[in-house]
Amino acid sequence: MWGSTFKRTFASDVYSFAFVCVELYTGKPPFSDISHDAAVILRVMAKERPPRPCDAKGRKLMSDALWTTVQQCWSHNIAERPSMARVVEMMQDANEDLPIVVRFLSIFVEFMSICAYIHSERLPHGIKKSTTLLFFPESGAEAAPEVAKALIHTFPDSFGRSGRNPAVPHVPGPLTLSTEDRELAVEVSKEFKRLGIREELCNVRATKTHIKTADKAFLELWSILLKEVGLPPLLMRTMAPPDGIDFSVMRSKPWGEKESADEMEQALKYAQELQRVGIEARRMSNSQISAGIMEQVQTTMEFLKSKSTEEAQKEADDGDDASALDYAIRIRCNIGVKPNRSLHRYYLMKVIESSTATNAQKSQAHGLLIDWCISPFPNASIFARYMFAAAHHANQSVLFAAEASPAVLFFGLRILEPQAEKVVALKAQYQPLWMALEKRKKEVEKEQEKAERKREKDSNRYICAAPECYIQASKGGGLAQCAGACDPAVKPAYCSKECQRADWKNHKPFCKPGAPCSILTKERDLPAAGQGQSDEVLTIPIAGPDGRTMMLSSSTMPPEMLKMFQDFSLGKEPEGADKTIEEMMSSAKNKSKSRFEKIDLFVK
C-alpha cells in the first residue's frame, strides 16, 4: 500500500480523513506510541485502528455520531467506506457542534472539488473567439507573458466564480502551479517575479507526475467538447485529445535565406516567394514560368530599389496591407533585415487580421505561413500543432482565393495527404482544401488521358527508337525524327544524334517509301512516363534503392545526363561521366534558364 504502486483514490482520501479527525482531537498522530513505521503498517494490515480519543480522566472527546462516521471511513473493506458527500450528510444529520471537524471537512471537500475542476482561458488573455491562430508561441519565453497574465486575472476571479459561474468551487488558498514543460516553468516564474508577484507564489514546478490528474480530467472535458461540436460517434473515436505543448523539444533548423549582396539573387528569391503563393503559376508551363519569373525579377529589382526595407516596415506598422506582405517577404528572404520567424509571422498575421486587406492578399499571407509551419522540420516528423496549423492556413488560402496555389498543392499532395492516412482528424477537417486537391487530381488525370490518346495514335513519336535507349518524351517535339524518305507513319524518332547513329545500321534498309517499320521491340518493358506535362520533358526509367522502377524526368537535362543517371542506378560506371558532368555545368553557366531547371522523380 505504501510502495511505488500506491495510487490515490477517493476511498483513500476518505480513509485519510478518518485518521486526521483522530489527530485533531488528540493533538498527536495515530499510533504515536509506536516508533517504527513497519510496526504501524503491520497493525493496520491486521485491521487494528486507533482507540477512540479520550481526555486524561477517560472522558470521550469525540461524539458517538462522529466516532461512527470515523469507523466507517477507515473500514478495512473499501466498499464499506462512504463517499465524502455521504460523510457531509452524516455530519449534518448528527446536528452537533463540531467546529474543528466541520471546518476541516469543508476545506477537504472543497479541495477535492478543485482537483476535479477544469478551467480554461483563451490566450492572449481577453481575445475574442478567433480562427486565425493569432497566438502561436514557439518557446517558453514567448508564451510566458500571456500565460502569466491569464493566471493573474484568473486567481482574483477564483476561476470564474465572481458572478459568472456559481458552481465553481472556492479556492481556499494559494495552489502550487505545475507544468510538464521545464522551459515554460522557468519562464513563467521569471515573468511572475518581473511583475512583482510575491516570492512564495513565483515558483512554478516542472513535473510530469503531478499533472496526471489534470490530464485525466481533461479527457472528460474533451469528450464533452466533441459531443457539443456534434461529431458522429464513429468519428469522435478517431479524434485523439491534443497533447501538452513541450517547448523544450522544439529545436528547429536555422530559418530564412542566407544573406546575399547580389541584387538579382535577392529579387529572384522575392519573386519565387510570390510565385509559390499565387494561382497564376498553375496555368503556366515550366518554360512560361521561367520566362515569366525572369521578367518578374526585373520588375522586383526595380521595386526593391524604389522602396527601402525601412520604408516598407514603417508603412506596414502604419497599417498598409501591401507593405506588411512586402516586409514579411523581405524578412524571409534576408533583404535589408535579418530573418526572424516571429517577426515574419507577425506581419503576415497583420494582413490576415486586417479588415482592409483583399482576399488575394489574405490568401497569399496564409500560403506563406504554410512554409513557416513546415520548414523547421525538413528531415523529421512534423509536430502535430504545426501540421494542423499548416493545414488550417492551406484551407484558408483556398477559401480566400477560391483556388489552390502551388504552395497549397505541394503541401496538400506531398505532406498532408500521406499524414492524413495516419491521422484521421486531418481528413475529417479542412473540406475546402480536400476538394481543391481532388479537383487538381482530376485535372491532371484529364491531361494524362489526353496525352495518352495522342501517344497511342503515334507512339513512335514519343519513344527513342534506339534499341538500348529507354528515353521517352512528353511531346512529339522532344525527339528528332529521321529526315530520310521513310513514310511519316513509321518514321523512327531519336533523343540524340548518338542514338540515331547507333540505330542507322538497323534502319537504313527501311529508310525508303513504302517500307515497313524498322523499330525493334525493347528488351525490357518500358513503363509509361508521366503525362500531362506542359513543357517538353524527357523521361527515363531508373532503378530505385528498393528495387522498384522510378521515372526520372527533366525539362532541361540532356539525354546523355539522363542515361548516366540510369547507369548509376543499375550499378554501372558510365563512360565519360566526368566529361558529361563538366559539359552540363559549363552549359548551365551560359544559360540563365538553367537555374529554373525542373527535375521530377516518381515511382511506377
User: Mean pLDDT throughout 180-207?
Assistant: 87
Residue 283 has pLDDT above 60, yes or no: no
**Residues 412, 296 within the same domain:** yes
**Dist CA 514 CA 127 (whole Å):** 82
Partners of residue 540 on adjacent β-strands = 552
For residues 432 and 480, the model is more confident at 432
Lateral strand order in the sheet of 549-554: 472-473, 538-543, 549-554, 599-603
Q: Residue 352 has what pLDDT?
A: 95
Q: Which of 13-27, 186-200, 486-500 has the lowest mean pLDDT?
A: 13-27
Provide the residue count of the chain.
Answer: 604
Give whichever of 228-232, 460-464, 571-575 has the largest mean pLDDT.
460-464
How much of the chain is helix, strand and coil, in % rounded to 5? 55, 5, 40
Q: Is residue 520 part of a domain?
A: no
Q: Is residue 106 part of a domain?
A: yes
Q: Is residue 58 part of a domain?
A: yes
Structural domains counted in the chain? 3
Q: Residue 325 has what pLDDT?
A: 96
Q: Residue 590 has what pLDDT?
A: 46
Residue 155 has pLDDT above 90, yes or no: no
**Residues 586, 441 within the same domain:** no
**Dist CA 492 CA 517 (whole Å):** 8
Residue 451 has pLDDT above 70, yes or no: no
Contact between 457 and 449 (Cβ < 8 Å): no
User: Mean pLDDT throughout 212-228?
Assistant: 77
Query: If we measure between CA atoms, which residue out of 378, 372, 319, 386 comes closest to residue 344?
Result: 372
Q: Is residue 188 part of a domain?
A: no
Q: Residue 559 has what pLDDT?
A: 83
Please state, in angstroms and as integers, the Cα–Cα distance from residue 241 to each residue in 129, 226, 238, 374, 425, following that order: 20, 10, 10, 22, 10
Kindly report the CATH number assigned to the domain that includes residue 24: 1.10.510.10
Q: Is residue 505 part of a domain?
A: no
Q: Which of 211-220, 262-271, 338-347, 397-406 has the lowest mean pLDDT?
A: 211-220
Q: Residue 599 has what pLDDT?
A: 39
**Residues 432, 543 within the same domain:** no
User: DSSP alpha helices (H): ranges in 460-576?
Assistant: 497-507, 559-569
Q: Residue 3 has what pLDDT?
A: 42
Residue 57, domain extent: 10-115
Q: Residue 488 has what pLDDT?
A: 85
**Dist CA 311 CA 497 (whole Å):** 56
Tens-place pLDDT, residues 500-539: 999 999 898 899 888 888 887 766 555 555 544 555 678 8
Tens-place pLDDT, residues 72-113: 988 888 888 888 778 777 776 665 545 555 555 555 555 555
**Dist CA 373 CA 387 (whole Å):** 7
Tens-place pLDDT, residues 254-280: 677 777 778 888 888 888 898 889 866
**Residues 433, 546 within the same domain:** no
Residue whose cell numbers read 517535339: 477
Please state, in angstroms and as integers, the Cα–Cα distance from residue 503 to each residue in 302, 366, 483, 508, 561, following that order: 52, 54, 14, 8, 20
Q: Is residue 438 part of a domain?
A: yes
User: DSSP alpha helices (H): ranges in 318-383?
Assistant: 321-333, 341-353, 359-374
**Residues 429, 564 within the same domain:** no
Q: Residue 598 has what pLDDT?
A: 37
Q: Residue 170 has what pLDDT?
A: 56
**Residues 273, 389 within the same domain:** yes
SS3 state at 571: coil
Domain boundary among 402, 417, 445: 445
**pLDDT > 70 fraction of the chain, expressed in percent and rounded:** 75
Q: Is the bond preceding residue 124 a cis peptide, omega within 30 degrees?
A: yes
Q: What amino acid occupies position 47?
A: K
Element (H, E) at 186: helix 182-194
Contact between 177 and 211 (Cβ < 8 Å): no
**Residues 419, 559 within the same domain:** no
For residues 591 and 149, the model is more confident at 149
Instruction: For residue 429, give the C-alpha cell.
Output: 477537417
**Residues 547, 431 within the same domain:** no
**pLDDT > 90 fraction of the chain, expressed in percent and rounded:** 23
Domain boundary among 88, 115, 142: 115
For residues 366 and 466, the model is more confident at 366
Tens-place pLDDT, residues 543-599: 766 566 777 777 777 888 888 877 777 777 666 555 555 555 455 444 433 333 333
Query: If we measure between CA atoms, which residue out of 348, 279, 277 comes closest to residue 316?
Result: 348
Q: Is residue 456 part of a domain?
A: no
Domain boundary among 386, 410, 445: 445
**Residues 435, 567 within the same domain:** no
Residue whose cell numbers read 497583420: 350
**Dist CA 115 CA 178 (whole Å):** 13
Q: Is residue 153 part of a domain?
A: no
